[in-house]
Chain A
Amino acid sequence: MTAAVSIRGLQVARGGRDVLHGIDLDVEAGSVTGLLGPSGSGKTTLMRSVVGAQIVAGGSTKVLGLPAGTPELRARVGYQTQAPSVYADLTVGENLDYFAAILGVDRGGIEDAIHVVGLGEHATQLAGTLSGGELARLSLAAALLNRPELLVLDEPTVGLDPVLRRDLWETFHALADAGTTLLVSSHVMDEADRCDALVLLREGRVLAAGTPDDLRSRTGTSDLDAAFLALIDQAGATRS
């Protein structure tokens, strides 16, 4: 496989505490890879390391063949933070205008991004008056604008209704089919089955990685929630 992201021995310490303890991870190019794990497992820290926003203590993170945080990558990697990082005092259109100008995207690109996230009717609405789900979609649109080769999305579907969530996952796969690599985090297991590959993270360590079918057959379970639990038990047994 061609790896869009290749991480070896990544260590991160935050506030005097080790948050990631030597992560090894490959994300296949053109795949939708899910990063799953409970809150506090290190998902956001790992994603911040991939986009080069995190001070790391050790290890290597290669993104599209370059060390994470290389200036050239800033135009090739899109990042949606967990909190909707858009300007509440600008309209939807003005927010995207600004991010588009930074990324060198024209009007057509803005229209496309608005269309993809389904915010067409809200273009002139102030971001501060959008619902939580709409705000998250605006934030996603800003990350999509320049059609980056790698999209790093931190809990993009949190708080969305089921129909919208399904639509977004279809969008993610459409983007992957067009060649984009997506690294998507979630703490809901029922989204895991929508990913091509999964990375289960727990307490700053990779618990398991593989396709959803892989993980089910490896643990002899029928659903991924049970697989996750079985993997935690296995890990506990080997450690003691």
Chain B
Amino acid sequence: MSVRRTRATALRVLRQLRHDPRTVALLLLVPCVLQFLMYELFQDTPGVFQSLGVPLLGLFPFVAMFIVTSITMLRERVSGTLERLLTTPLGRGDLLVGYGIAFALVAAVQASLVSTLSFGLLGLESGHRPVAVVTLAIANAVLGMALGLFASAFARTEFQAVQFMPAFVLPQILLCGLIVPRDEMAEWLQALSALLPLTYAYDALARLASTEPLGARFWADVVVVVGVTALALALGAATLRRRTP
């Protein structure tokens, strides 16, 4: 690993985004619009927005970074830039961590914006400090990035990569407890949801939203999120082959 090469990679990814203002606008504004829609949708039952607002805030970056990373990495594979990079002294860790830093920064801006809107204007309340929610949102973004990177290895075309969103992400959103609380699910669905990383990300966010003390379960959730991120990055690194057929 080299600090210079990692930093250069993060800077390069951010510069690519800067040349694509429409993507940046979509990344930053769409979650705000969705959060506002949720607020308006549940005007008459404010309890719903109070219970969903914080988890949604923390899950937007996960979904966004999953899609952005799987497409970007696929483009690196298809365009030949990945093959070129892997014939240079750039380490696979430099590349992955560089990506991680760039997208974590984008996620930080995204989560801060949604957080300012939700807590500042829409009257969302959280039992814990908003900065903790934003921090967890960033962790979720890096988790989404790591999973997107891994998924991109199995896509041959951009069409396939886009379809991984409903394939990898939607089941996790359905089963994480956001739509139906986990203890109300059929047993096999509970077992399935226990295997999905987003379940732990959602649980941690729900605990941040409540006024209860965080407790050991919260920290266990955080450990799972960080651990799965590391595992997905390691698996992702294994899919970056210097020698190919």
Binding site for B on A (CB under 8 A): 14-15, 51-55, 69, 71, 74-75, 77, 79, 81, 83-91, 94, 97-99, 101-104, 126, 142
B12 within 8 A of A: yes
Given contacts A74-B88, A126-B19, contact A88 B79 (CB under 8 A): yes
Closest chain A CB from B213 CB (angstroms): 46
**With A55-B243, A85-B81 in contact, do A102 and B8 touch (Cβ < 8 Å)?**
yes
Q: Which of B15, B88, B244 contacts A102 (CB 8 A)?
A: B88
Question: Contact at B88–A103, with CB atoms within 8 Å?
Answer: yes
Give the distance in Å from the alpha carbon of A98 to the alpha carbon of B89 in the complex: 13
| Bound form: Cα–Cα A15–B243 in Å | 15
**Closest chain B residue, CB of each to CB of A79:** B87
Subset of 15 A-B contacts with CB under 8 Å: A14-B245, A53-B83, A69-B243, A77-B87, A85-B80, A87-B12, A89-B19, A90-B12, A91-B19, A101-B4, A101-B8, A101-B11, A102-B85, A103-B88, A103-B89
- Tell me if B187 counts as interface (CB < 8 A to partner A): no
Question: How far does the Cβ of A67 sit from chain B's closest Cβ, in whole Å?
Answer: 12
Report the minimal beta-carbon distance from B238 to chain A, rounded to whole angstroms.
15
**How many residues of B sit at the interface, in one of the four size bands?**
20 to 34
Q: In the complex the two chains form, what is the Cα distance from A195 to B80 in whole Å? A: 27
Q: What residue of chain A has the Cβ atom nearest to residue B245's Cβ?
A: A55
CA of A73 to CA of B213, assembled, Å:
55
Q: Contact between A98 and B8 (Cβ–Cβ < 8 Å)? A: yes
Chain A's closest residue to B17 (CB) is A89
| A81 in complex: contacting residue of B5, B9, B83, B89, CB < 8 Å | B83
Distance to closest chain B CB from A126 (angstroms) = 7
A81 touching B84, Cβ below 8 Å: yes
Q: Check B5–A142 contact: CB distance below 8 A.
A: no
Distance in angstroms from A73 CB to nearest chain B CB is 9
Give the CA-CA distance A51 to B245 in the complex, in Å.
14
A137 to chain B, nearest CB (A): 15
Q: Is B90 an interface residue (CB 8 A)?
A: yes
**Cross-chain contact B243 with A52 (CB below 8 angstroms):** yes
A85 touches B84 (CB 8 A): yes
| A75 surroundings in chain B (CB, below 8 A) | 88-89
